[in-house]
Structure 1
Amino acid sequence: MKDFEQPKPPRWADRFLEWYCNPKLLEQIQGDVHELFFWRLEERGVKSAKRAFIWDIIRLFRWKNIKRKSSQTTQFNNIAMFKNYFKIGWRNILRQKMPSFINITGLSCAIGCCLVAFMFIEPRVIRDQFHENGKNIYLVAHEAFIEGNLGKYGVFDSSLAKELPDKFPQIKRRTRMKGTQNIFRIKDNIFRSYVNYVDPDFLNSFSFPMVYGSKDALKDPSKIVIDRSAAIRFFGDEYPIDKLVKVIYDEEEINFSVGGVIEDAPNNSSIRPGFLISYEVLENRGQTAQANAVTFIELEKGTNVLELERSFQSMVSVQNGLKPDAQYESIFLVPLESMAKSNLNGVPGGSPPMAPIILLISIAGFMLLLAISNYVNIAILMATRRVKEIGIRKTIGSKRTQIIVQFLTENLILCALSVFLGIVLARGLFMPWFNEMSGGTISLNLFSNRNLWLFLGLLLLVVTFLSGFYPAVYISKYKPSVIFSGKEKLGKKWGFSGALITFQLVLSIITIVGGIMFVRTNNMQKRIEWGFDKEDKILVNIPSSEVYPELLNKMMSIPGVEEAVATNAALGEAYGNTEFYLGDKKNRASFLSCSAKYPQFMGLELHEGRFFDPELISDSQSSVMVNYKFAEHYGIRIDDLIQIDSVFHKVVGVLNDFTYQGLSDKIEPIIIKAKPDSELNYLTLKVSAGTEMEMEDKIKQAWVDVVQNKPYIGFLQSRIFDSGSEDSRGLKNTMLFTSTLATILAAMGIFGLASLSIASKMKDIGIKKALGANLIQLTKSVYLKFGIMLSIAVVIGSTLAVFIIGIFLDEVYAYHDPVNFIPLFFAAAILTIVVFLTVTTQIGKVKKMNPAETLRMD
């Protein structure tokens, strides 16, 4: 008969006890519960004993019985370990002062450049995220066919927008916004400024904090809300609420009182609410301009946006039925926080220009790569002086990972110092210089920009890892037996370090060539002939045809004003363009309306044909002149006909090309048409030679004596391109700074690698010197290696510079010299001198070295 096995406690419960129980208590506890199980087995039976056993195991799951690591000990050990790492790291930084200084200096300069780039780019790329309700605010946009092309538009029909909250309960608030230019009178100041007409809920939806007044101020159409800058500009220290602001509509002057003052819009705002007036003012005036407006809606939390967007499609047929000439294809919603990137027509703010962003990213990236490459080389140099320390630590049981963590921790200290100094450099030196150069207003506010802290943290981690990981892995791989036997060959094979130095030299070549080319282009722009006589001419605006005769007489009565001719725009300002037909083909070109005397008055040169004749009525009705670029591009000859606005115009003259847009723009085809002076916008006054500055104030006063309720707009023709010249000088200075800093960083890297090479060969050099070798024999290999790296860098860097700098110049300047042999030669020469001098400073150690001292130490 088969023997039955005695029942045992549930295995899973027993294992659970073994898993959680403190090993010091397990034997006693497990013995007690097993003894209880077998007692219950005899008294109560199998099922009852097993149930009781399970309950005992669960009941004993208490804090005092649970096994656990000694967290306090572990935590203490971790803290002590990292404290020790930091202490050793700090001592090594202090011990190796020169390499540490070079590393910190290079990284802090690069980090300073990165911060300038970040503070310039961040508000242009990450926009409109500061509004408290921003995640619930959407722009109402639409698709429509315009001239046969389907486009997306960031405006919406004003009358439909007005009804949105009534039709859709998901909409918490709605605000329309219409921006226009208006003439203002505040005290004695008459000026033209941009004003936004908005619905009263605008200040409740958007987070523009109130300085004075109430957010509900715009519920009263007689109130105006201004920003802090305007309040300070016009009212100074006076309390601005209820101050009078006059807005001039045509000849009508309407009084508004200041109902509120808001903070200036931050740089990352697409909406710039300098002056805010109730939208009701536009509606009461019946202006047709209100037909389309930028429309924002703030939704209730939890609203299904896609479902609401589908519901909006019911308004398409309503819109198309009311306005057959403005047919919508669809209506859609754009989140406020992505509005700036949407590329919609008519959207506030719009996409930022990419050229300066790419340039600054390139410069910051170049500097960071140079600094990290330089850092890696010098970090290896610093680490190789600690091989015996590594050998001892490995002998007593340290693992390779611990040594890597040790070096990365030390690296973190040095990088953190670099970040701190980078912040100081950026705030105290780089940003003020950049603002002065670019006319910007960027600033470093560490306490109100979360994105800046994220950027600094990410930058610290990236720089710490990229600059420290390779040196840590490199030095930790050596075995104690190799180190103590003296067979380690640190620094004798340059390999990776040599590649890094070559890479640095390549970047230096590119930046030096860039600096030279931007200097050359800037100087070339100064020598460019504008193609017209720009000196001794002052432009003033003509407010209306009615006031033109009196204004002309007043100006001509001023002593020193020799002649006056009218034009629709100043040469050098932005131009309009017009459609024209050559045969049946439609084209577009720049267009300038001016007095018949204007081309000769401005000294434009005739290529062929004739100038306008002021005595011929036909010249003011059906004649045009064109520039040579136009004639060449379209194959135009004298007496050919061009159709403009259904009227055929005869080409009576072709002018030599002249700069009419800007020094950085290519000369494009332009049509010049004569018109009566009274129909034009500007009066160009020729004054006595050399009297522009003193005559400007006299002309302004005479203008004010004649014109009422209109702002004066006047400027010197000779200064029309000043802003472009300032931009060009700023780019030149930026590139010079970049090339200089790149050269310094490359010199630091060469210094470190030369030191490493010479330090690793001191024993060999000592023996050779003791045997009578001269300095050239001792150092020839060092010069040779750097010469090879420099030669490779010159070849690669010159090739890349021709391509990269050529692209940059093409993006920025319409006309520039090609990147030819001259800048490449000078860049190579500059870098050769820097490399030679840097290496020579290290060779001095060999010259001063006493062989006896070196050999005795070894």
Structure 2
Amino acid sequence: MTPPRWADWLLELFVAPHLLEDVQGDLHEVFYKQVREVGLHKARRKFIWAVLNYLNPFFIRRKPREYSQPTNTVMIRNYSKIALRNLSRHKTYTFINVSGLAMGIACAILIFTLINYHLSFDSFHSHADRIYRFVTEQHRETVSYKPNVPNPFGKVFRDDYTFGEKVARIATADGVLLTIQHGQQIRKFKDDVAFTEIDFFDIFNYPLRKGSIKTALADPNTAIITEKMAQKLFGDSDPINRTFRVENKIDLRVTGILADLPPNTARRTEIYVSYNTLKQYDEWMANEEAWGGMNSAMQCFVRLRPGVTAAQVEEVLPAYVKKYRPTNKNVHHYKLQPLDDIHFDGRYGGTITRRNLWVLGGIALFLIGTACINFVNLATAQALRRSKEVGVRKVLGSVRGQLFWQFITETGFITTLALLLAGLAAWALLPFINDWLGAQLTLNPFADWKPAVFLPVLGLLVTFFSGSYPGLILAGFQPVMALKGKLSHQNVGGFNVRRTLIVGQFAISQVLIIGMIVIANQMRYSTQSDLGFNKEAVVMLPVASDSKLQTMKTLHQRLTRIPGVKTASLCQAAPASNYNVWNTSPRYDNRTEDEAFSVSVKAADEQYVPLFDLKLVAGRNLLPSDTTKEFIVNEMFARKLGLKSAQELIGKPLSLNNDKLAGPIVGVVQDFHDRSFHENINAVCLMSASDRYESYAVRIDMKTVGPTLAALEKTWSQMHPDQVFEYQFLDEHIANFYRTEDLMLHVVEVFAAIAIFIGCLGLYGLVSFMATQKTKEIGIRKALGSSVGQILWIFGKEFSRLILVAFLVATPVAYYLMNTWLKSFIFRVDLGLGVFLSAILGTLLIAFLTVGFKSAKAALMNPVKALRSE
């Protein structure tokens, strides 16, 4: 049932090529209509006459009018004028597109800057591919990962093997007291200090501005400082050969000035002291025979010789365990960690994982993609309005390519404006992002080639992906149908593609919303649950580094006499703490070997248990003592021993640290969380040991917190005038356990809000399209008596279905992702039905508010006006 082929030949012969497709389409439509009305035979005859009537009587081939080909400059100028005219005429359309694209692009710029910053960490060192850090896997009842090795490891490895071109140890002391005297004025503050072997500066590229790197740290009591630290310590005066004091006991002479550390290095210490000074600061860390334990401050780096692999080195390292730790139940496995992995491996204290960076990159792509999708939705919704414009242009001689580039030019204007706004927004937000993340992100396309390439490439890609589909649709309109107003929504892409894209948008949005709810619930659970002790209104003050026992006792008594102080305790650390933690293997009931598990030891006086409201389930509290004579353990200690009741522990002997600390167990306390909720409750042992006290725990009355803190500072400073006073509330310290999760929560909140906003723009585009396409339907329904509510439901049921479908897609994905995330917590919330119901109800509410105005406007439209437009 096809038209006569020779009739098409006539058209090809006499009709200009640029009009042939449109003419054939129009005449074929006439033919099919005639087939339905008069049958195939008569339709063919009518089709022949239609062709002959279309052609002029003399069968003269009609040619398009000859035009001079405009230059590229003229075409671009014309495109630009028309684009600006269209954009200024439809301000709402322009605003929505620009705001959506700008928000997505701004997020992409910030995420790109963050990824670029992290991936550049320590990449500037020479021979970075041959630099490694020695790390330790500790195998007890579980495996733990430490970024350090025993103190003598570096020296022994350097002496025994030639694998390393350079080997260097570095022991970092955090927050040490620094004192500088300027005439009669004494300045004091706290900062980090690293005791460093000189080969460290051969391994790493930290250039020296003044002094000689070979001799600067050759002598004891010498130091190298950065330019920034020199300004902080000595102002504008020459720092070379100037002295400062560490912990009121070590005088250091400045022998070199380092260039300021770049922001993209894991090493942030700005004071480096000769390694042979370490013994004056900490004799145990300087002990070349101390294989029995490890201090996280001690690290060792190596630059391997060319051709030597990490696997070759790791093959010989087990020999050190057999030689120096043959009977220790805490089995060490020494490994090499590549330099470019130090910043990313969370097991060894890495800041961020590469997986998280790729997740952020995926979020950036998603936000850009959804912004482009919204542009497509809105552009195709506007396509029917521009159909007659396209028809006129085609009749006047415009070809498909010209129309396509016309629309691409309009998209380019929108993208350029969005890119400028996004760049300004990203630049303005960077200081807040840096404060928030504790980073040093910079965005300077003139100083770094990566953003200089990224920004224009991003603009071109957004322009292409946003403008291509609408441009192809508009350029593909048949002029006859466009001028007759016979185009329908099928000609502008239909609903199916748009529906699919919007379902995808809202599925991702709901995944983010569910993630936000789960993380918030877990954070609330972690910080507000009963920890097994009372953390409220407790202030932790430091024990001064030079404090003697009598000084500590005197200050303790003076603190308890301050109005507003309820009680105070001398201790090593709070019940839950990430620092000042000592783990060792216990020996119970005079057994011949240490137990297979480790115990977390906390030195504390007799006020510790009542101050923190620890619950005794058996036995009694510690008696006043300055030395270790007895122990209190927790219920987990009994469970790890396999005992049926805590009462069985009372009176049994216990020894720690190779029998150096021994005494009976006199009490058992109820289990309390000694670490974060990421970890299980450990076996804990409390004991009196004045030589290990490092903190004063002070419970205060929060009604008089201001005057009480001032009195605490005054009293403490009177006893230690040459020290720096610091304090921290215990609940703030515990909140720091979850700093990463808190940061993640805020990031997810921001991205969820942006994703919802962009998704709502897409929904608005769909409703706009529906309102345009259903104008006549709404007019007829209203003329036949439909109410406003019934008209609104036409729109409501459409997006409700889409959101429900998106929810069905998002639910299993969100469940899997959040269940995986929650596995990092030993103590965690359940993924209940309420989480998912909250997400869908919240999304529906936001969607109703988004489409309400446009839907109501369509529902309230005058039906006469709608029907007259037919």
What TM bracket, shorter-length normalisation? 0.7 to 0.9
- Pair 1:376–1:220, CA change in 2 (3 A): same
In structure 1, how many angstroms separate the alpha carbons of the residues matched to 2:770 and 2:81?
29
1:105 to 2:74 alignment:
no
- Pair 1:209–1:730, CA change in 2 (3 A): same
**Deviation of the 1:604 alpha carbon:** 0.7
2:257 maps to a residue whose letter is G
1:830 to 2:827 alignment:
no
In structure 1, how many angstroms separate the alpha carbons of the residues matched to 2:685 and 2:668?
10
Do the aligned residues in 2 keep the contact of 1:139 with 1:297 (CA within 8 Å)?
Answer: yes
Match of 2:584 in 1: 578
Q: Give 3-state SS (helix, strand or coil) of 1:592's partner.
A: strand
What are the within-5 Å matches in structure 2 for residues 298-697 of structure 1? Answer: 305-306=306-307, 325=324, 338=340, 340=342, 350=350, 352-353=352-353, 357=357, 360-361=360-361, 364=364, 366-392=366-392, 400=400, 403-429=403-429, 431-435=430-434, 437-490=436-489, 493-525=494-526, 527-535=528-536, 537-542=538-543, 547-558=548-559, 559-560=561-562, 563-574=567-578, 575-580=581-586, 586-606=596-616, 608-614=617-623, 620-621=628-629, 623-627=631-635, 631=639, 634-637=642-645, 638-640=647-649, 645=656, 652-662=666-676, 664-686=677-699, 690-697=703-710
Q: Give 3-state SS (helix, strand or coil) of 2:482's partner.
A: helix
- Pair 1:827–1:393, CA change in 2 (3 A): same
- Pair 1:602–1:374, CA change in 2 (3 A): same
2:605 maps to a residue whose letter is S
In structure 2, how many angstroms separate the alpha carbons of the residues matched to 1:727 and 1:344?
11
Match of 2:31 in 1: none
2:601 maps to a residue whose letter is F
Match of 2:254 in 1: 257
Provide Cα deviations, 1:46-90, integer angstroms capped at 9, x if missing partner.
Answer: xxxxxxxxxxxxxxxxxxxxxxxxxxxx99955555555455444
Moved more, 666-675 or 622-631: 622-631
Identity rate, percent: 22
Which of 119, 133, 144 aligns to 1:125? It is 119
**Deviation of the 1:570 alpha carbon:** 1.8
In structure 1, how many angstroms separate the alpha carbons of the residues matched to 2:317 and 2:587?
38
In structure 2, how many angstroms separate the alpha carbons of the residues matched to 1:697 and 1:458?
57
Do the aligned residues in 2 keep the contact of 1:407 with 1:468 (CA within 8 Å)?
Answer: yes
1:612 maps to a residue whose letter is N
In structure 2, how many angstroms separate the alpha carbons of the residues matched to 1:75 and 1:547?
95
In structure 2, how many angstroms separate the alpha carbons of the residues matched to 1:144 and 1:658?
28
Match of 2:48 in 1: none
Q: Give 3-state SS (helix, strand or coil) of 1:218's partner.
A: coil
- Pair 1:350–1:144, CA change in 2 (3 A): closer
2:470 maps to a residue whose letter is P
Q: Give 3-state SS (helix, strand or coil) of 1:586's partner.
A: coil
Q: Give 3-state SS (helix, strand or coil) of 1:639's partner.
A: helix
Match of 1:715 in 2: 728
**Deviation of the 1:548 alpha carbon:** 1.2
Do the aligned residues in 2 keep the contact of 1:282 with 1:290 (CA within 8 Å)?
Answer: no
What are the within-5 Å matches in structure 2 for residues 76-225 of structure 1? Answer: 77-78=71-72, 80-82=74-76, 84-131=78-125, 134-135=126-127, 138-139=130-131, 157-158=154-155, 176=168, 178-181=170-173, 183-187=177-181, 188-190=186-188, 193-198=191-196, 208=206, 218=216, 221=219, 224-225=223-224
**Deviation of the 1:595 alpha carbon:** 2.7
**Deviation of the 1:296 alpha carbon:** 5.7
**Deviation of the 1:351 alpha carbon:** 6.2
In structure 2, how many angstroms separate the alpha carbons of the residues matched to 1:512 and 1:681?
43
**Deviation of the 1:656 alpha carbon:** 2.7
In structure 2, how many angstroms separate the alpha carbons of the residues matched to 1:812 and 1:319?
32
In structure 2, how many angstroms separate the alpha carbons of the residues matched to 1:192 and 1:75?
75
1:195 maps to a residue whose letter is V
Moved more, 493-502 or 286-295: 286-295
In structure 2, how many angstroms separate the alpha carbons of the residues matched to 1:144 and 1:740?
42
1:421 maps to a residue whose letter is L
- Pair 1:467–1:654, CA change in 2 (3 A): farther
In structure 1, how many angstroms separate the alpha carbons of the residues matched to 2:648 and 2:527?
37
TM-score w.r.t. the length of structure 1 is: 0.73
Match of 2:769 in 1: 756
- Pair 1:557–1:335, CA change in 2 (3 A): closer
1:792 to 2:805 alignment:
yes
- Pair 1:634–1:368, CA change in 2 (3 A): farther
Q: Give 3-state SS (helix, strand or coil) of 1:276's partner.
A: strand
Do the aligned residues in 2 keep the contact of 1:111 with 1:422 (CA within 8 Å)?
Answer: yes
In structure 1, how many angstroms separate the alpha carbons of the residues matched to 2:346 and 2:859?
69
Unmatched tracts of structure 1, length 5 or more: 1-73, 300-304
Unmatched tracts of structure 2, length 5 or more: 1-67, 291-297, 327-331
Do the aligned residues in 2 keep the contact of 1:599 with 1:611 (CA within 8 Å)?
Answer: no
2:614 maps to a residue whose letter is L
Q: Give 3-state SS (helix, strand or coil) of 2:272's partner.
A: strand
2:93 maps to a residue whose letter is P
**Deviation of the 1:499 alpha carbon:** 1.6
In structure 2, how many angstroms separate the alpha carbons of the residues matched to 1:633 and 1:380?
71
1:586 maps to a residue whose letter is A
Do the aligned residues in 1 keep the contact of 2:227 with 2:257 (CA within 8 Å)?
Answer: no
In structure 2, how many angstroms separate the alpha carbons of the residues matched to 1:828 and 1:317?
58
**Deviation of the 1:97 alpha carbon:** 2.1
2:634 maps to a residue whose letter is V
2:669 maps to a residue whose letter is L
In structure 1, how many angstroms separate the alpha carbons of the residues matched to 2:76 and 2:159?
64
Provide Cα deviations, 1:658-696, integer angstroms capped at 9, x if missing partner.
Answer: 33324x545513322322334433333455675554344
2:342 maps to a residue whose letter is A
Match of 1:8 in 2: none
**Deviation of the 1:445 alpha carbon:** 3.8
Do the aligned residues in 2 keep the contact of 1:244 with 1:258 (CA within 8 Å)?
Answer: no
- Pair 1:359–1:190, CA change in 2 (3 A): farther
Do the aligned residues in 1 keep the contact of 2:318 with 2:334 (CA within 8 Å)?
Answer: no
Match of 2:245 in 1: 246
Q: Give 3-state SS (helix, strand or coil) of 2:809's partner.
A: helix
1:196 maps to a residue whose letter is A
**Deviation of the 1:552 alpha carbon:** 0.9
How many pairs align? 759
In structure 1, how many angstroms separate the alpha carbons of the residues matched to 2:111 and 2:534?
40
**Deviation of the 1:789 alpha carbon:** 1.9
